[in-house]
Structure 1
Amino acid sequence: MTGVTQQAKSSKDRILEAAVAMTGENLGAGLSVRAVAARAGVSTGSLRHHFPTQRALQEAVLTAIYDLVIPDDHVIHDTSLPARDRLIACLRLVLAPAAPGKPSREAWSTVYERFIAPEPTEELRATYLATAREGLRRVEYWLSVLVEEGALAAGDNTRRARFLNTVVGGLSVERAMPGEASVLEAETEVLGMAVDAVLASREPGE
């Protein structure tokens, strides 16, 4: 008998797997403890043991999703490539899931329907902020690796990550627009300029 059965998986793995699936089905919906526990086949007490708060569960889910969609570890740690190229490649991974044209339009339509069109309830705001935090954390991690290597001066990586995320966000919108066919060439230039600016950045007074 090959593979791992649902019963053989740990309760934590089953909970996370169920929550990831539910998030993929409806990103804008909150993760109900009862619904996630029922789908995972565990008790609500077991779920709370592993994830004491909604935020803990939500952030674990987002980390798992980012790890699946943006498998960056082998890229940022590949020291056979210059730091500049690695950071650009990691940022491209963020853009990669939604290709220019129809896929990007559909992705932004989903974002609009889930986060912009509805009234901003506390639950919706919390879901969005958790998503944004995870995206920011991922870029901060890449920058911290480069700082450890000495390829980037120590500094405010949160500020740097926000800048890079803003650039990537703008490029993702441009992918959805009926623009020129050479959008990918323009992206390369813009990402290069943004990464150069970050790699050259230092703390005030240095």
Structure 2
Amino acid sequence: MILQAAAEMLAEDVAAKLSVRAVAARAGVSTGSLRFHFPTQRALQDSLLARIYEYLLPDDPIRDRTLPPRERLLNCLRQVLAPLGTNEDARTAWGTMYRTFIEPEPTEQVRAAYLGHQREAERRVEHWLTVLAEEGALPPGDHTRTVRFLLTVVLNGLSVERALPTRESVLIAEIETLNAAVDHVLATGPAPPAGPTGP
């Protein structure tokens, strides 16, 4: 009931912050009852994201536990880039983004539409990192900086590169960039257990 209420709020406004108080009111339960099941706003959002991605992406590569975390995160990033295609398709996609969000005056409506789009991308990447953190491949906690890095530098950067005219194969450079990004992200993983100190 609580997750359904949160999902309905998200469907109505993709930029919704899903505060505990607002979700409790929508679900018709007390905030204390909601906090019993979801002690923090983050726990509520993570549970909702897991539900959404189970439904929307039943074959989400992050769930393929037959592969190590590194390969799964690489596959997730590749999955996001794949629909852009290369060259002509990528130019078309970026042309649409430009006409929708950059060319018009930055009105409140344009800003809200872009922020909703951005928030969905952030939620998707945050979901991947949360799954890896739950498995111990990344430290638990706030992954905001890592999400920003993957979206800005890796996904947005590589999608722009696909749209630009070049003589070289973009895909070879892209593979190197994806590997470097994933290695960087996973290098911030949990420190190895401390061994005995002193003689």
TM, length-normalised to structure 2: 0.67
Does residue 128 of structure 2 align to residue 168 of structure 1? Answer: no
What are the residue-to-residue correspondences of 1:30-49 with 2, within 5 Å?
none
Aligned residues of 2:162 and 2:170 also touching (Cα < 8 A): yes
Report the Cα distance in structure 1 between the residues aligned to 2:141 and 2:189, rounded to whole angstroms: 6
Flag as ranges the 4+ runs of structure 1 deviating above 6 A: none
Deviations 1:150-206 (A, max 9, x none): 111224311111100111100000000111342111111101111111111159xxx
SS in 2 for 1:118: coil
SS in 1 for 2:83: coil
How many equivalent pairs are there?
147
Report the Cα distance in structure 2 between the residues aligned to 1:58 and 1:109, rounded to whole angstroms: 25
Aligned partner of 2:63 in structure 1 is 77
Q: 1:96, CA displacement in angstroms?
A: 1.0
The amino acid of 2:184's aligned partner reads A
Report the Cα distance in structure 2 between the residues aligned to 1:86 and 1:72, rounded to whole angstroms: 14
Aligned residues of 1:72 and 1:90 also touching (Cα < 8 A): no
Does residue 113 of structure 2 align to residue 158 of structure 1? Answer: no
TM, length-normalised to structure 1: 0.64
Aligned partner of 1:201 in structure 2 is 188
Does residue 58 of structure 2 align to residue 58 of structure 1? Answer: no
Residues 119 and 72 of structure 1, relative CA distance in 2, 3 Å threshold: farther
When the two chains are superposed, the root-mean-square deviation of aligned CA atoms in Å is: 2.6
Aligned partner of 1:89 in structure 2 is 75
Aligned residues of 2:122 and 2:151 also touching (Cα < 8 A): yes
Q: Which ranges in structure 1 are unaligned for 5 or more consecutive residues?
A: 1-49
SS in 2 for 1:97: helix
Aligned residues of 2:137 and 2:189 also touching (Cα < 8 A): no
Report the Cα distance in structure 1 between the residues aligned to 2:114 and 2:188, rounded to whole angstroms: 29
The amino acid of 1:134's aligned partner reads E
**Which of 106, 109, 112 is residue 120 of structure 1 equivalent to?**
106
Aligned partner of 1:143 in structure 2 is 129
Aligned residues of 1:104 and 1:172 also touching (Cα < 8 A): yes
**Which of 170, 176, 185 is residue 183 of structure 1 equivalent to?**
170
